[in-house]
Amino acid sequence: MKLGAVLMASGSGARFGGNKLLCPVDGAPMILRAFAAVPAGLFARACAVSCYPDILALAEARGYLAVPNPDAAQGQSASIRLGLSRLTDLDGVLFSVCDQPWLRRDSVERLLADFSAHPGCVCSLSWQGERGSPAVFPRDLFPELLALTGDRGGGGVIRAHRGRLRLVEASGAEELRDVDEPPDLDRPK
């Protein structure tokens, strides 16, 4: 089974006050923490989609296909379409936001293993039954993902196929916590 990954790193960071992905969290820029949690080496091909040249350079140096996003203002759907368009020949693709600095590689590996055991399902990381990110989608749902518009992610596709959703528990609630504003950088307790 060949799996891919799309790391979505195009957010404007408006609530944060700028590109939050270069902000250090526990001693490392948030984007490097995302690369460590979802390393390119786990996948047949992995893309990092961003409107920031410095993020694309960091991604390329770590083995990701760097995909420029000139349509970042359109929201998450643009990143999904751009990244997925490079991976449509694969069996499944993981989509991950890059502002969850406490996401762990072992949880991502468990998520990929669950998808490999259930390749017709959408497998999503969760905490106590609440769906979060990242999520892995099977190839037959790629057309629906490619048709997304606006600032919407894969949640609508998941809701349209609720019976195919599998939740994979994270190691802790902090893994699903995203950073939107500077106070969110405080280490979860």
Q: Is the pLDDT of residue 175 over 60?
A: yes
Superfamily of domain 3-178: Spore Coat Polysaccharide Biosynthesis Protein SpsA; Chain A (3.90.550.10)
Q: How far apart are CA 46 and CA 98, in angstroms?
A: 14
CB-side exposure of 36: number of CA atoms within 13 Å? 13
Q: Torsion over CA of 102, 10, 152 and 101, rounded to 10 degrees?
A: 0
Residue boundaries of the structural domains of the chain: 3-178
Can you give the pTM of this predicted structure? Answer: 0.93
Q: What is the mean pLDDT of residues 44-73?
A: 94
Q: Torsion over CA of 57, 59, 63 and 68, rounded to 10 degrees?
A: -80
Higher local confidence (pLDDT), 186 or 63: 63
Higher local confidence (pLDDT), 182 or 35: 35
**Cβ within 8 Å of residue 15, ≥6 positions away:** 180, 181
Count Cβ atoms below 10 Å from residue 188 Cβ, excluding itself. Answer: 11
Q: Could you tell me what percentage of the chain is helix, strand and coil, using 3-state DSSP and rounding each to the nearest 5?
A: 40, 25, 35
Banded model confidence at residue 14, pLDDT cuts 50, 70, 90? low
Q: Torsion over CA of 19, 21, 27 and 28, rounded to 10 degrees?
A: -140
Higher local confidence (pLDDT), 60 or 23: 60
**Cβ within 8 Å of residue 143, ≥6 positions away:** none
Count Cβ atoms below 10 Å from residue 168 Cβ, excluding itself. Answer: 21
Q: Which of 10-24, 86-100, 151-165 has the lowest mean pLDDT?
A: 10-24
Q: For 86-155, what is the HEC assignment?
A: CCCCCCEEEEEECCCCCCCHHHHHHHHHHHHHCCCCEEEEEECCEEEEEEEEEHHHHHHHHCCCCCCCCH
Give pLDDT tens digits for 95-116: 999 989 999 999 999 999 999 9
Q: Do residues 142 and 93 lie in contact, with contact meaning Cβ atoms separated by under 8 Å?
A: yes
Q: What is the mean pLDDT of residues 44-59?
A: 95
Angle between helices 105-117 and 30-37 (to 10 degrees): 40
Q: What is the mean pLDDT of residues 151-175?
A: 91
